[in-house]
Structure 1
Amino acid sequence: MPTPRETILTALHARLSTLPATALRGEVLPERISADGLLILRDGEPGEPEVTLSPQAYHYRHRAEIEAVVQAADRDAAFDTLCASIGAAIAAERTLGGLCDWVEAEAPRPVDLPVDGAASLKAAIIPVVLHYSTADPLT
């Protein structure tokens, strides 16, 4: 049976998979980027939990990351559309079906990445904070 952390990350990846962009999890950047863009979900860092003792619970602010990448003639517009679609997907279900207390994305910091012999990439890492609690930090 998967841990709450894995269940939440799987649900977030499933949410991102509903978008037109290709959504991967923990993969390396492929050689080709689809016209709709590419999203790579990184598991990130759960951080140090706050602990309550009665009942014992570990409360996390887990920082996952979404790498968003576009390669199009109008990179700026395509990137903006991709980021807006990520925001809308997260806002539509902030608890991932009740798995999290709250999910929130932070603003991206886009960069242009040159590619030899092709249109450059526009990419950013979008931090996503997952608020959840577990009874045990390993389960």
Structure 2
Amino acid sequence: MPTTRENTITALHARLSALPATTLRGEVLPERVPAAGLLILRDGEPGEPEVTLSPLAYHYQHRAEIEAVVQGANRDAAFDMLCASVGATIAADRTLGGRCDWIEAEAPRPVDLPVEGAASLKAAVIPVVLHYSTADPLG
């Protein structure tokens, strides 16, 4: 049976997969970026939980990351649209169908990455904080 952590990250990946951009989880950047853009979900780190004792519960603020990448002549507008669509997807269901208490994205810090012999990439990491509780730090 999947853990709360895995259920939450899987639900986020499923939501992102509904976007027009290609969505991967934990993969390396491919050689070619699809025209609609690319999102790579990184599992991130759960961090140190707050603990309550009665009943015993571990409350996490898990920091995952979404790498957003676009390429092409109109990359600034495409990047803006891709980030906005990620934000709208997250805002549409802040509990991921009840799998977490709250999800919130932070602002991306975009960079332009030159590519030899091709159009440069515009990319950013979008930090995402997933709030959830579990009865076991390994569950």
Taking structure 1 as the reference length, what is the TM-score of the superposition? 0.99
C-alpha distance after superposition, 1:31-51 (max 9, x if no partner) = 010000000000001000000
Q: Structure 1 residue 15 and structure 2 residue 15: aligned?
A: yes
Partner of 2:102: 102
Alignment partner, residue 122 of structure 2: 122
For residue 72 of structure 1, report the CA deviation from its aligned partner. Answer: 1.7
Give me the whole-angstrom Cα distance separating, in 1, the residues matched to 2:23 and 2:95: 20
Distance 2:3 2:102 in 1: 18
Over aligned residue pairs, what C-alpha RMSD do you find? 0.4
Match of 2:56 in 1: 56
Q: Say which SS state the counterpart of residue 112 (structure 1) adopts.
A: strand
5+ residue gaps in structure 1? none
Structure 1 ranges of 4+ moved more than 3 A: none
The Cα shift of 1:136 comes to 0.2
Query: Are positions 1:33 and 2:33 aligned together?
Result: yes
Give the number of equivalent residue pairs: 139
What secondary structure does 2:65 align onto?
strand
> 2:101 and 2:53 mapped to 1: Cα distance?
19
Q: Structure 2, unaligned stretches of length 5 or more?
A: none
Q: Identity percentage over the alignment?
A: 84
